[in-house]
Amino acid sequence: IEDFRERFDFYCVANKIKNEGDNLRRKKALFITMLGHSTFSKLKVLASPMSISDLSMEAIMELLVGHYKPQTIEIAERFKFFKRMQKPSEPVVEFMSELRKLAKSCNFGEYLKTALRDQFVCGLKDAKCQQELLSIADLTVEVAQPKAQAAEVIALETRSMKEPG
């Protein structure tokens, strides 16, 4: 629901729909009509006994977020993050993307870049690349990912040159 809301906000900016007066009512009406059938039906149930038309946009979002995005437990989310390893056929770029996705619910704050770097390096399937990254004293996630991607490309190219073709 949060992704939908974010896309909807971009839609409103692109169409110059502001958060004031008639535009606010129009924005709410557009948002509700853009909801899928099942989400609209769920919203009606969540709003009951009130009518959706009586709710503010903020109240509608609170109901939807409360239903579709229940509160997470930080330690459980961090557990998933720190257990994540690169899968056998998963490209480096996808592995990092998944780590970033998992990190969103971990509440790392200032520690985010360090956590991403550490788990990225620890979770890499390529032991040689991992060893090279571990030898870099001031390694950052911005340096680690391109180096791992380059190692991945080199390994693929080397493998393809050795295969009879």
Instruction: Please list, in sequence order, all residues whose beta carbon lies within 8 angstroms of the beta carbon of residue 129, skipping any fewer than 6 positions away.
Output: 147, 148, 151, 152
Q: Say which residue the tokens 């919203």 belong to.
A: 43
What is the pLDDT at residue 19?
A: 79
What is the pLDDT at residue 96?
A: 98
- Residue 14: both structure tokens together: 């692109």
Q: Decide if 69 contacts 1 (C-beta within 8 A).
A: yes
> Where is average pLDDT lowest: 36-45, 68-77, 145-154?
68-77
Q: Say which residue the tokens 């996630």 belong to.
A: 141
What is the pLDDT at residue 87?
A: 97
Name the band, by pLDDT with cuts 50, 70 and 90, for residue 18. confident
Q: Is the pLDDT of residue 69 over 90?
A: no
CA separation for the pair 48, 149 (Å, rounded): 52
Say whether pTM exceeds 0.85. no
Give the pLDDT confidence of 132-144 residue by residue, as tens digits.
999 999 999 999 9
Q: What is the largest CA-CA distance in the chain?
A: 71
Q: Average pLDDT of 3-8?
A: 89
CA separation for the pair 137, 102 (Å, rounded): 26
> What is the average pLDDT value for the chain, to the nearest integer?
92
79: part of which helix (H) or strand (E)?
A: helix 74-83
* Best mean pLDDT range from 17-21, 28-32, 112-116: 112-116
Q: Average pLDDT of 69-75?
A: 86
What is the pLDDT at residue 165?
A: 59
CA separation for the pair 124, 133 (Å, rounded): 10
Task: Tell the burial category of 132 from Cβ atoms under 10 Å away from its Cβ (0-12, 13-18, 19+).
Answer: middle
Question: Own/partner pairs for 24-27, CB < 8 Å, 24+ apart?
Answer: 24/57, 27/57
